Structure 1
Amino acid sequence: MATKKKAAGKKPFAKKTPSKRAPARRGPPMKAPGKKKGGPAKAPGKKGAPKERVLRARRPPRAAAPPAAIEAAPAPARPAADRPDPARPTAMAIAAAALDKKAEDVTVLDVRGLTSYADYFVLMTADSDRQASAIADHVEQTMKAQGVTKVGVEGYQGGRWILVDYGDVVAHVMGREARGFYDLEGLWADAPRVAVEA
């Protein structure tokens, strides 16, 4: 009977023997009994001690610094009677000149604080266009003699409403119909009246 020769230098395959290990369990690994997750807390003061959480109270947000315009609020406006009044003599001189030419219903309105372009309005009524022109001319001559020059004049050609501008004081020479129609006293109802003696 022929015998099989072993190949030189080659070892025969060893038979695999079944492993004595227990078959692997399926599912999560089992924990050792007696041990809890994380283990016992370590004593404070030792290396590796758990850090305590310190709850700090939140500070309220700082209020923004107010702008300079709010910090330094403007002082309330002084009443008209307390403020310097260099335009009042001019207004009274215009009213007196109008009375010299028989102007009627001469009224001085103190519009300080109510408008920015004048301090006083001098209102007067003329019976006709010719009288209105004569009043405006006399007012201009009188003020020029006192060293006060007009800034401008409007409505001189028509005569129904002549406006003579002296800067802080504006003279209104109006016909009776125009004065009733435009009602400047009603328009400036909040303006104090200054009495003018004839």
Structure 2
Amino acid sequence: MGNTPEELLELVVRTADDRQAKDIIAIDMREISILTDYNVIAHASNKRLINAIADSIVEAATKAGIEVKSIEGKQSRDWILIDLGDVIFHVFDEEERSRYRLESLWTEAPTVDITDWMNE
């Protein structure tokens, strides 16, 4: 898993969900951005969980042989961004997510149905 952009997206979503990320949304950026194929946005209930989710994403990507291009926000832990190339993962605390509303920046981009990758 993790060789195609779609497989990487699944890896990121499954990992975030397994670590109790909330309200995970995947946005298909292929038609509107040259920077990435997908943006994944989630939040967590506290700063320790935000950090644990981010660490798990990095660990899963590394195990799958995916290069982590950059990690931003590790010091603040209110918003951590992980650039995996084909997928950019954002994890916020709930207040910061509400403040920045990244989902509203890309309203023309379709969301990806990720329900099959999520625990119930």
TM-score by length of 1: 0.55
Query: What letter is aligned with 1:175?
Result: D
Aligned-residue Cα RMSD (Å) equals 0.9
Which protein has greater RCO, CA pairs closer than 8 Å, 6+ apart? 2
2-structure distance, mates of 1:168, 1:145: 16
Instruction: Identify the structure with the greater helix proportion.
Output: 2
Question: Which residue of the other structure, out of 71, 83, 87, is the alignment partner of 1:169?
Answer: 87
- Structure 1 regions of 5+ residues with no counterpart? 1-85
Paired residues, number: 113
Output the CA distance in 2 between the equivalents of 1:150 and 1:164.
7
Cα deviation, 1:24-46, whole Å, max 9, x if unaligned, reads: xxxxxxxxxxxxxxxxxxxxxxx
Q: Report SS of the residue matched to 2:57.
A: helix
Distance in 2 separating the partners of 1:178 and 1:89: 28
Is 2:40 the counterpart of 1:118? no
Q: Are 1:196 and 2:114 matched, yes or no?
A: yes
* Gaps in structure 2 of 5+ consecutive residues: none
Instruction: Name the aligned partner's letter for residue 163 of structure 1.
Output: L
Deviations 1:46-82 (A, max 9, x none): xxxxxxxxxxxxxxxxxxxxxxxxxxxxxxxxxxxxx
CA distance in 1: counterparts of 2:106 and 2:29, whole angstroms: 8
Moved over 6 A (4+): none
Structure 2 counterpart of 1:90: 8
Corresponding residue of 1:104: 22
Offset at residue 97 of structure 1 (A): 0.3
* 1:183 CA displacement: 0.8
Give the TM-score taking structure 2 as reference length.
0.90
**Structure 2 partner of 1:128:** 46
Shift, 1:113, TM fit: 1.9
Indicate the structure (1 or 2) with the bigger Cα radius of gyration.
Answer: 1
| Residue 99 (structure 2) pairs with residue 185 (structure 1) | no
Residue 28 of structure 1 is matched in structure 2 by none
How much does 1:107 deviate? 0.8
Alpha-carbon distance in structure 2 between the residues aligned to 1:129 and 1:136: 11
The answer to whether 1:160 aligns with 2:96 is: no
Give the secondary structure class of the aligned counterpart of 1:194.
Answer: coil
The structure carrying a bigger strand percent of its residues is 2
